[in-house]
Structure 1
Amino acid sequence: MARLNNQPQPGFTIPSSVAVVIGVVVGIGIFRLPPIVADHAASGLQFMLFWLAGGVISLLGALCYAELAASRPDAGGEYHFLSRAFGRPPAFLFAWARMTVIQTGSIALIAFILGDYASQLLPIGPWGAAVYATLTIIVLTVLNMLGTRHSRRAQNLFTGLIIALLILLPIAALISVPSAPVPAPAPADDTMGSLLGDGSLGMAMIFVLLTYGGWNEAAYLSAELHDVRRNMVRVLMYAIGTITLLYLLVNAAYLHVLGLEGLREADTVASLLAERIFGDIGSIIVSVIVMLAALSTANATIITGARTNYALGRDFGLLRFIGRWNGRRNTPVHALLVQGAIALLLVALGAAFEESISTIVDYTAPVFWFFIMLTTATLFVFRRQHGGDTNSYRVPLYPLVPLLFLLACAGMLYSSLTYTGLGAVIGVAILASGVPVYLWAVKQQARE
């Protein structure tokens, strides 16, 4: 019985799990990334189709992840799947990528978005966004090092505020604000052909799917979801369906009020939308809510990222420095320090470029899509090894659905490598640096 108490126990229902997934996905990206997507759209219709496509692609991926999580529930999520299918090396590289690229890149991205909104309220010069981002990371890292416990109620409150904004603001905009003038159509040309040819489609979908990103974190709930074999697919389908509807609603409001051209020029688009509806006070209120939500999201990312890093250090002696747990403060102090230092370096990287947020996205996108694709490929390995678990959920239309999602992942990986800048090169180089680190770690373990 004591052994059972040391294992994760089912505590999540379908509604609570859906709430977690929505809370992870529906973050502050929807308040900053739509203008960047609009830059790559040839028309308002195409802009909306990008967001619909993002929901469809996410649903395909969720169906694949649902089978993996239902048939092999484990708190290790993707790390567990990769380790079981391909062995320790890919699993190590995945954990290395989360520490150096994916999680730290997310922290830097969130901090920059907070910095944009903070600079709107209290400008402090051309480097204001980077300064606010730096302060955010330092303060939250120090608070976690001191053992400050994350408040689940506060996290739920801020998630609720974001969802309320995504419902109330667009409804108010669509009802009370006249439509923005539609510009005259451009001279006839092959719009779709030019869009595909110059990489705009791929670039747009990188930012769209980043805004949808986070549904894969449901895999980490698999060990704690009631009747996971049947309920995981329901959790993901309900969550992604709800998120897609919210995103289509809010982006329709952006287009309705600002128009495509106005949207392209709006960095703090949510505050601008609120200003058009409610005046200056509306803009201030929305900016404050987005900033508070960004603090909450950044804090949650710092907490989960540091604990993944701690586990990596615990499993590999070479990285034992980050695998030490401070019992007095009940927190992985060294893992937090390393994570914070990497995130600050990424803020410096972003600040060195005119488009700081795009640079951070470039840094994370290739690595993220590589491991999403690799994790999806484990489905074929498990089916070949065991034929699939007939007692749990199985992805429909196999192998068509996972093949379609793998093609989408390959397309995102190609776009993130081909049409991005120096940030992508650096991200891939950091991932590659994990190979000699792994070999060194294995060699040291063999000596011990």
Structure 2
Amino acid sequence: MFGGRHASRYARRPMSPSPPQDDASARPAEPRDGYARRVGLFSGVMLVIGGIIGSGIFLNPAIVAQRVHTPGLTLGVWLLGGIVALIGAFIYGELGQRNPKAGGSYVYLRDAFGPLPAFLNAWGLMLMIATGAIAAVAVTFANYTLALTGLGPGFRFPLSVGAILLLSGVNYFGVRPGALTQNVFTVLKLLALAVLVGAGLLLESPHPAVVEAVAAPQAPDSLVLAMGAALVPVLFSYGGWQQTNFVAEEMVDPERNLPRALLLGVIGVVTVYLLANLTYLRTLGAAGLAASSAPAADALGQLIGPAGRTFITAGVALSTFGFLNLVILVSPRVYQAMAADGLFFPWMARLHPRYRTPSNAILFQAAWAILLTGTGTYGELLDSVVFADWLVFGATAATLFVYRARERQGLVPRAAYRVPGYPVTPLLFIAAALYVLLGSTASNPLNALKGTVLLGAGVPVFLYWRRRTRRTEAPPALGAP
């Protein structure tokens, strides 16, 4: 595969498939210089759910209701977004089974389209997407913690940095502690959402909004445009399932468990999102939801009073902390894969000899994210590359066509797990990704231009490392000693 000659210098040895087992069960023998298989099916599902559910479901439903107005259309957009996310899970499930290596999209893009697109994916993730997200989510966690505890704004930066350092330390010492932390906080965020949904659907609502609002609000004049505009924040809220593929090499029996984890996790999130929106609509009504700046707090506060607002504040703090752990856990695997191909500093490719983690990549990521937090530049970075996630999603989905073509030519083995509805479903997913990309660019062309420039800045960096690696590996000249 492309990049293999560079990978031989630092990368892990191929690992033999392992029988399916839980996280706590006995493990098969593993190579001593590679990643350790410690992530079972349950942890995989928690990674998928934790990678999708952040703070979006607590806030974004108001934006959707503002754009489509009616309860039926609001639920319909969230269902449509869930279908797109499910297709994405199917696609990443087949790709993960075909190539269960650490790095996820980086590996698929490199093998299908060459090293430059893969490098730009990793470069963007390292420079601004993942690290910017870590900084932004850490500040969000600190803000909700301050609201919960009553501490002053002077504690915002120490809390943000403390969360980054704490979770980076947890993940430095092994994928098992990181996965266990993820399991705990994903379960806690699901419990918080379960309380919200249970209260909204079981308690007597002071405002039976769905019954009243079906006939009251008018559908938008241009239904197609309104649905399309509402779909953008919905698709952003559903993004994140792909991050589990970053740790495919650390999963137990990834050929079986990775597709299962993706499907179970995405189905679970779609169910939770639909129930949460039904709760908002039943409690606040479509107009009330559209006018709310904090739908979850408003809904639970209306049902059970001030204690409900406090509970949701704690729930959002837990949810953002869990999401922060997920990004810190998975992203360094991409940087390590890039460095293992000779496209970045060699020390970034090394795994810790005892903990079997990309320890240097974790430390680099923490330092850069803290710098972004301290300078306050993370918001501008995230706004500039808000389209980048779905650009990568679409390009990664396109790699499936390359793998299928090679399969037909007998160059790669036939995958046991296959995307249903191929080729229509991948094409629909790519079309959705292009829509988000175009919509984000049209809504803020200046930010899209900034993001393009930042990503384009990776091209000379790629060329430098490419030339340096080739010089290092070049054979000596004739007659040289």
**1:205 paired residue among 193, 207, 231:** 231
Residue 201 to residue 436, structure 1, CA distance change in 2 (3 Å): farther
1:92 to 108, 119, 130: 119
Do residues 241 (structure 1) and 267 (structure 2) align? yes
Deviations 1:160-200 (A, max 9, x none): 1211122221121122223355567467872415xx1xxx5
Match runs of 1:30-429 below 5 Å? 30-114=57-141, 117-118=144-145, 120-121=147-148, 134-143=157-166, 149=173, 152-176=179-203, 177-179=205-207, 181=209, 182=212, 185=216, 190-193=221-224, 196=225, 200-225=226-251, 228-306=254-332, 308-309=334-335, 312-313=338-339, 315-316=341-342, 319=345, 331-332=359-360, 333-345=363-375, 347-348=376-377, 350=379, 362-387=383-408, 389-390=413-414, 392-420=416-444, 422-429=446-453
Q: Deviations over 1:115-149 (max 9, x none)?
A: 55346446789xx6xx7764444223444677775
Could you tell me how far apart the structure 2 residues matched to 1:296 and 1:273 are? 23
Residues 274 and 338 of structure 1: is their aligned pair in 2 closer, same or farther, counting only changes over 3 Å? same
Once residues 57 and 152 of structure 1 are traced to their aligned partners in structure 2, the CA distance between those partners, rounded to angstroms, is 27
* CA-CA distance at 1:238 after TM superposition: 2.2
> Aligned partners of 1:317 and 1:186: how far apart in 2?
55
Cα separation, 2, equivalents of 1:219 and 1:316: 21
**Which structure's residues are more often helix, by fraction?**
1
TM superposition score normalised by structure 1: 0.83
Query: Residues 132 and 421 of structure 1: is their aligned pair in 2 closer, same or farther, counting only changes over 3 Å?
Result: farther
Question: Over residues 66-99 of structure 1, what are the superposed CA-to-partner deviations in whole Å (9 max), with x where a residue is unaligned?
Answer: 2111122212221111111112111111110111
Equivalent position to 2:465, from 429, 441, 447: 441
Note the alpha carbon deviations across 1:210-262, whole angstroms, 9 max, x for none: 22122112323543555544554333222222211111001110111122332
Deviation per CA, 1:32-91: give whole Å up to 9, x if none: 222233332232221111110111001111112221111222122211111111121111
Root-mean-square deviation (Å):
3.4
Percent identity, aligned pairs only, is 31
Deviation by residue 1:360-410 (Cα, 9 ceiling, x = unmatched)? 764343111111111111111111122264351122232112111111111
Distance 1:62 1:385, change over 3 A: same
In 2, Cα distance between the equivalents of 1:174 and 1:121? 26
Larger Rg: 2
Q: Does structure 2 retain, via aligned residues, the 8 Å contact 1:99–1:339?
A: no
1:353 is matched with none
Indicate how the Cα distance of structure 1 residues 444 and 377 shifts in structure 2: closer, same or farther if over 3 A, else same.
same
- Judged with a 3 Å threshold, the aligned counterparts in structure 2 of structure 1 residues 151 and 405 are, in CA distance, closer, same or farther, namely closer
**2: CA distance between counterparts of 1:170 and 1:82?**
40
1:402–1:343 CA distance, 2 compared to 1 (3 A): farther
Distance 1:85 1:179 in 2: 54
Match of 1:256, as an amino acid? R
Aligned partners of 1:265, 1:415: CA distance in 2, in Å?
A: 23
Give the gaps of 5 or more residues in structure 1. Answer: 351-358
Could you say if the C-alpha distance between residues 272 and 437 of structure 1 is closer, same or farther in structure 2, counting changes exceeding 3 Å? same
Any idea what the Cα deviations from partners look like across 1:9-29, whole Å, max 9, x if unmatched?
A: 655554443233223223332
